Amino acid sequence: MDDYAFALANRLLGNPADAAGMECTLVGAKIRFQADTHIALTGADLNATLDGQAIKSWQSIAVRAGQILDMGRMTVGCRAYLAVAGGFDVPAYLGIRSTVALGQFGGHGGRPIRTGDLLPLGVSTATAPMASIPAELCCSLDKECHDM
């Protein structure tokens, strides 16, 4: 729904534009990482935590195996995006990696993610993720950002 925020999440990590990420609507997910990686959160404010410590959106964050990301509920806005270095390793269907739950195809088994699902990570080819997105490029609900 917010191509701009999704693109910036992938850009932060040096992912290709078509790398699969996760879109969360109104509420995020709670994820335990099984491997070291980098993540980026963009879009709506989630008040996200990593092992109980607050983390900021619009920047790359190193995550270690075993850490838990809790994306909570949106406090401002309704859609947020999680990108991981290398993207999620899900097959492309009709040229996209999105899940179409109504049609039961694409993404992770053609259905929304459920508790206990394991999402494989793609291989990152980036040499180093960006530290953060410049403030003037970050979107907020009090300004127009889709034309930037």
132, with CB counted inside 10 A (0-12, 13-18, 19+), is middle
- pLDDT given at position 142: 42
Whole-number percent of the chain with pLDDT over 90: 34
* pLDDT tens for each residue of 31-89: 999 999 999 999 988 889 999 999 998 899 999 999 999 998 888 888 999 999 999 99
- Whether the Cβ atoms of residue 43 and residue 114 lie closer than 8 Å to each other: no
Please give the model's pTM, rounded to 2 decimal places: 0.82
- pLDDT given at position 85: 95
- pLDDT given at position 141: 42
